[in-house]
């Protein structure tokens, strides 16, 4: 049977890794139905935006992009424009009001419907809205069921890299931090079946995937009972670890309160687990943490960090921070700066507070830190984190690190250097503690574990060259080689 030709598909994705995974799954489903990907929006018959609502800025960008399509739609009346993901679930009908030329609005829990909805929109020219229940619109079970599980088995060529894959292990979030819209846009916290997760990991390993990153908004809160057995994240890691072919396991994002000893010990004892833990602190000030309803004090975060470092002294920890949250004083900001100095995070993702309709903070707490102050605190924090990252990266100079080679670096790609026909090109990879490493080599090394001698660094990147083993008088030494 031949696949029907369904025209050209353009998709733009913003936001987190969960969105990248969702887009991969949507594209895979559409390709199976004869859609062909294009990078040129003007040439596309179907245009999809997979959106993010975590900050207002991300939504503005999507509405501007939609605005630009208004006139192109007049010249291509057959074009179908769809808004998917978090903003679709949050704004619903409002998307049609703000951008009347949009055909589809499909929330995070309805992505499985997309192939049918596009076909219907093209046939009938009717708009359609497919969203899940609001968290107050039904019982927990009803709301959970309205966020359909969407993790079909996928096509290997749809991943950004053939050696790396995301696997969702949880949906949604129940933590309700007062600033965050995710519990609304992604629904109630639900852990996926370990059987399904393991099957997916096995298929990925058979397709040549070397590194699996398990995804969840609070990935370490994973807990589910299946066939009478309780599975926590530590149990899942141990089971995935046994799969032949996989070299590395990662998981993001962790919730500080659920960083239990069994999990830390699993990461320590399972050699394929990356020695890297993303555990967002959000603030270094107890008053702010309380207003954010994060559920821990800085004393408790510190205790968690100490336990982590005692279990794995070599582990790298990274964090997220929000600057300028409601009522944040200079003194409160200084406490976040102190926390960064004390914890020496490998890196921090820093965000200016953006009030989000539907959250508790939006209704109850004034956004009273001026934009210039948010900006100044953001820059100051970034400068401090960069200084620390640079100092800690410099400690790697003269050492050898093992990297999983990801492929040609972005810079080399921009220069058009994608093969080794004119000599080695700049490759990129990551260490076990998630540090980015660039080095000259042959792109064929992508997907392999390779030892790199670190010679230099920046605050974000280690710079080195490939080592080879040379046996001299019975002892093995490592020498740099050119490939």
Choose the one of ligand SF4, ligand 5AD, none that binds residue 35, judging by a C-beta under 5 to 8 angstroms depending on kind: none
One-character DSSP codes across 316-330: EEEEEEEES-TT--H
CB of 107 to ligand SF4, least distance (A): 16
CB of 322 to ligand 5AD, least distance (A): 5
CB of 85 to ligand 5AD, least distance (A): 14
First-to-last alpha carbon distance for the chain, in angstroms, is 45
Is there binding between residue 184 and ligand 5AD (CB under 6 A)?
no
Question: What is the rounded CA–CA span in Å between residue 169 and residue 197?
Answer: 7
CA atoms within 13 A on the CB side of 223: 6
CB of 172 to ligand SF4, least distance (A): 9
Q: What's phi and psi for 241, nearest 5 deg?
A: -55, -30
Choose the one of ligand 5AD, ligand SF4, none that binds residue 96, judging by a C-beta under 5 to 8 angstroms depending on kind: none
* Residue pointed to by tokens 């059987």: 195
Choose the one of ligand 5AD, ligand SF4, none that binds residue 173, judging by a C-beta under 5 to 8 angstroms depending on kind: ligand SF4
Choose the one of ligand SF4, ligand 5AD, none that binds residue 241, judging by a C-beta under 5 to 8 angstroms depending on kind: none
- Torsion angle, alpha carbons of 21, 26, 32, 34, to 10: -130
**Interface positions, 152-191, toward ligand SF4 (CB under 6 A):** 173, 175-177, 180, 182-183
Lookup: tokens for 325? 């949250």
Choose the one of ligand SF4, ligand 5AD, none that binds residue 175, judging by a C-beta under 5 to 8 angstroms depending on kind: ligand SF4
CA atoms within 13 A on the CB side of 284: 21
CA atoms within 13 A on the CB side of 16: 18
CA atoms within 13 A on the CB side of 90: 22
* Interface with ligand SF4 (CB under 6 A), residue from 217, 234, 385, 389: 217
CB of 35 to ligand 5AD, least distance (A): 30
Is there binding between residue 354 and ligand 5AD (CB under 6 A)?
yes
Give the residue from 160, 266, 155, 164 showing the smallest Cα distance to 214. 164
Is there binding between residue 55 and ligand 5AD (CB under 6 A)?
yes
* Interface with ligand 5AD (CB under 6 A), residue from 9, 30, 54, 463: 54
Choose the one of ligand 5AD, ligand SF4, none that binds residue 218, judging by a C-beta under 5 to 8 angstroms depending on kind: ligand SF4
Contact 204, 213 (CB under 8 A): no
Question: What is the rounded CA–CA span in Å between residue 478 and residue 466?
Answer: 10
Choose the one of ligand 5AD, ligand SF4, none that binds residue 184, judging by a C-beta under 5 to 8 angstroms depending on kind: none
For ligand SF4, the closer of residues 6 and 253 by Cβ is 253
Give the Cα-Cα-Cα angle 185, 85, 167 (nearest 5 degrees).
Answer: 90
**Interface positions, 267-306, toward ligand 5AD (CB under 6 A):** 280, 282
**Interface positions, 322-351, toward ligand 5AD (CB under 6 A):** 322, 351
Applying CB under 6 A, the residues found at the interface with ligand 5AD are: 54-55, 179-180, 280, 282, 320, 322, 351, 353-354, 356
């Amino acid at each position: 049977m031949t696949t029907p030709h369904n025209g050209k598909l353009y998709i733009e994705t913003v936001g987190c890794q969960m969105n990248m995974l969702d887009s991969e799954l949507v594209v895979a489903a559409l390709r199976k139905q004869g859609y062909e990907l294009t990078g040129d929006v003007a040439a596309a018959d179907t245009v999809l935006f997979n959106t993010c609502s975590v900050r207002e800025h991300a939504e503005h960008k999507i509405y501007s992009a939609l605005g630009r399509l208004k006139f192109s739609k007049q010249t291509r009346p057959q074009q179908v424009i769809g808004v998917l993901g978090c903003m679709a679930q949050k704004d619903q009908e409002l998307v049609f009001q703000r951008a009347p030329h949009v055909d589809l609005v499909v929330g995070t829990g309805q992505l499985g419907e997309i192939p049918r909805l596009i076909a219907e929109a093209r046939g009938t020219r009717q708009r359609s809205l497919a969203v899940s229940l609001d968290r107050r619109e039904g019982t927990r079970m009803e709301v959970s069921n309205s966020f359909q599980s969407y993790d079909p088995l996928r096509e290997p060529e749809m991943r950004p890299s053939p050696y790396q894959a995301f696997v969702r292990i949880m949906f949604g979030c129940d933590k309700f931090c007062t600033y965050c819209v995710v519990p609304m846009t992604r629904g109630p916290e639900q852990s996926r079946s370990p059987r399904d997760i393991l099957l997916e990991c096995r298929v990925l390993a058979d397709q040549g995937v070397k590194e699996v990153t398990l995804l969840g908004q609070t990935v370490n809160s994973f807990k589910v009972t299946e066939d009478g057995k309780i599975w926590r994240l530590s149990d899942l890691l141990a089971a995935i670890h046994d799969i032949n072919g996989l070299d590395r396991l990662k998981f993001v994002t962790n919730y500080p309160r659920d960083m239990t000893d069994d999990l830390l010990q699993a990461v320590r004892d399972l050699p394929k687990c990356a020695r890297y833990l993303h555990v967002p602190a959000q603030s270094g000030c107890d008053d702010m943490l309380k207003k954010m309803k994060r559920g821990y004090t800085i004393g408790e975060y510190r205790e968690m960090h100490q336990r982590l470092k005692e279990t794995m002294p070599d582990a790298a920890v990274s964090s997220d921070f929000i600057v300028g949250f409601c009522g944040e004083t200079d003194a409160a900001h200084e406490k976040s700066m102190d926390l960064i100095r004390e914890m020496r995070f490998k890196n921090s993702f820093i965000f200016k507070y953006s009030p989000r309709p539907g959250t508790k903070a939006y209704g109850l707490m004034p956004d009273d830190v001026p934009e210039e102050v948010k900006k100044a605190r953001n820059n100051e924090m970034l400068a401090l984190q960069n200084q620390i990252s640079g100092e800690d990266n410099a400690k790697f100079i003269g050492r050898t690190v093992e990297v999983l080679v990801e492929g040609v670096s972005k810079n080399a790609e921009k220069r058009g250097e994608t093969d080794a026909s004119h000599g080695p090109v700049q490759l990129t990879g990551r260490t076990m503690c998630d540090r980015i490493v660039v080095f000259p080599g042959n792109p064929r090394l992508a997907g392999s574990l390779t030892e790199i001698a670190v010679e230099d660094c920046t605050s974000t990147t280690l710079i080195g060259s490939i080592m080879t083993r040379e046996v001299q008088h019975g002892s093995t030494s490592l020498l740099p080689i050119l490939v």
